[in-house]
Structure 1
């Protein structure tokens, strides 16, 4: 069982062996599964998982001047109206593993950008319909509700599960060591149950749609489906995210996000 470290009551889940559950993040010689250290089931007001990412229409009082930069109408419409924090991950190209992440905060005067962080995404880039093993990151808007890692909580307001289940070894696609990649993680709610540890293996859309899509520590190479930031940037993001501001990640290649 996994016991939360911040007193948050969670649904108990079985922890699979680390070699099965977590070794696949970043892929490479040691990869045996699609599991990137996650994927989403968005919850509505009834608590019932929806089969697709957030699609809540933008309320009419929001003007174009107040929408997140770089997003087209289709993507912007999926950002829930109550969201006040958004991590926008913009890929360099549809088939590129290089991206940039920016944390935006919504204020009375509109969205304000924070620091710009270099990031990696999946080896083969991005996809609108992620499948297990396709080595592409899922495009979309996903809530961020749960965190964890091998190391102690760095001071996040998100529920944080410290567990030995986040141990990983082996090498990535470019021969880089994967050790430490899961020292800090934030579960991206793609094909997963929000409100559970990132190690929860529940897949509401089915195993074939992949899972284990996380924000995690960068290992200097492409991932299997996750988004990775440097350790310092991950700690900064963990400390900045506020569950009362209903944070989301908006992720995809630049062209897809402009739709």
Structure 2
């Protein structure tokens, strides 16, 4: 039989309280019945687990035909959604592909061409070309803000004159990203090589918004152009997906 002195010694032994490893986190807890004068230790319930919603496996708003046009290796997609076929107003969002799906970034208000969109763009038609195009090159009148795309700083990006609504075009080409429509990828946005011929237009860029419709380009505010330039990564094979909402949903 264990006398009172022996019982006290056993309860106070550090070997029993902490286990063989000596770590309190790994030790079994010694349960004792509280004396009548003590209040039982309250039980703390574990917080319920919260489920993390997976990102969509496809970019919302894109139908099967548009989706199939995006290269499988692309992990970045700038989606420019026009308000309508003949509208010059667009919304631009950068989507990033992660291990759990496509994550959407901030939504930026922008413009496209004066007369809207075309599935057969021609020089001077004042419509933006519908489609999915790679983004490989950048440049601008101002110094490189930290672009990972090849960046050509040149005075050739001067944009004089006024826009369709009388707004100044000054600064519109401070930062540009060339859209690889009827151009040779891997060259400055100022390169005027036209693989489809001059009649099919060209010089289609994402550039700084001047507050009105463009001739064929996409435009977003200057601060967001800098964000986009710094975000696009050639190792993630970025593309632009551009068109009015009904066309994108095909």
TM-score where L is the length of structure 1:
0.75
Q: C-alpha offsets along residues 107-128 of structure 1, whole Å, 9 cap, x if unaligned? A: 0110000000001000000011
2:131 is matched with 140
How far off its partner does 1:66 sit? 1.1
Q: 1:189 aligns with which of 154, 157, 180?
A: 180
How far off its partner does 1:241 sit? 0.3
5 Å-filtered alignment, 1:218-237, equals 218-237=209-228
Which of structures 1 and 2 has the larger relative contact order (alpha carbons within 8 angstroms, sep 6+)?
1
Flag the structure with larger Rg. Answer: 2
1:176 is matched with 167
Q: 1:68 aligns with which of 45, 54, 59?
A: 59
Q: 1:206 aligns with which of 197, 215, 219?
A: 197
Q: How many residues align?
A: 195
Q: C-alpha offsets along residues 186-225 of structure 1, whole Å, 9 cap, x if unaligned? A: 0000000000000000000000000000000000000000
1:60 is matched with none
1:81 maps onto 2:61 in alignment: no
How many angstroms apart in 1 are the aligned matches of 2:199 and 2:102?
36
2:48 is matched with none
Q: 1:166 aligns with which of 157, 169, 173?
A: 157
SS in 1 for 2:110: strand
How many angstroms apart in 2 are the aligned matches of 1:212 and 1:131?
12
1:247 is matched with 238
How many angstroms apart in 2 are the aligned matches of 1:137 and 1:118?
16
How many angstroms apart in 1 are the aligned matches of 2:139 and 2:110?
19
Q: C-alpha offsets along residues 35-90 of structure 1, whole Å, 9 cap, x if unaligned? A: xxxxxxxxxxxxxxxxxxxxxxxxxxxxxx51211111111010000000000000
- Normalized per residue, the structure richer in helix is 2
1:15 is matched with none
TM-score where L is the length of structure 2:
0.77
1:97 maps onto 2:88 in alignment: yes
1:107 is matched with 98
Which stretches of structure 1, 4 residues or longer, exceed 3 Å deviation after superposition?
Answer: none
Q: C-alpha offsets along residues 219-239 of structure 1, whole Å, 9 cap, x if unaligned? A: 000000000000000000000
How many angstroms apart in 1 are the aligned matches of 2:154 and 2:124?
25
How many angstroms apart in 1 are the aligned matches of 2:112 and 2:80?
9
5 Å-filtered alignment, 1:12-23, equals none
1:257 is matched with 248
RMSD: 0.5
Unaligned runs of 5+ in 2: 1-55
How far off its partner does 1:172 sit? 0.4
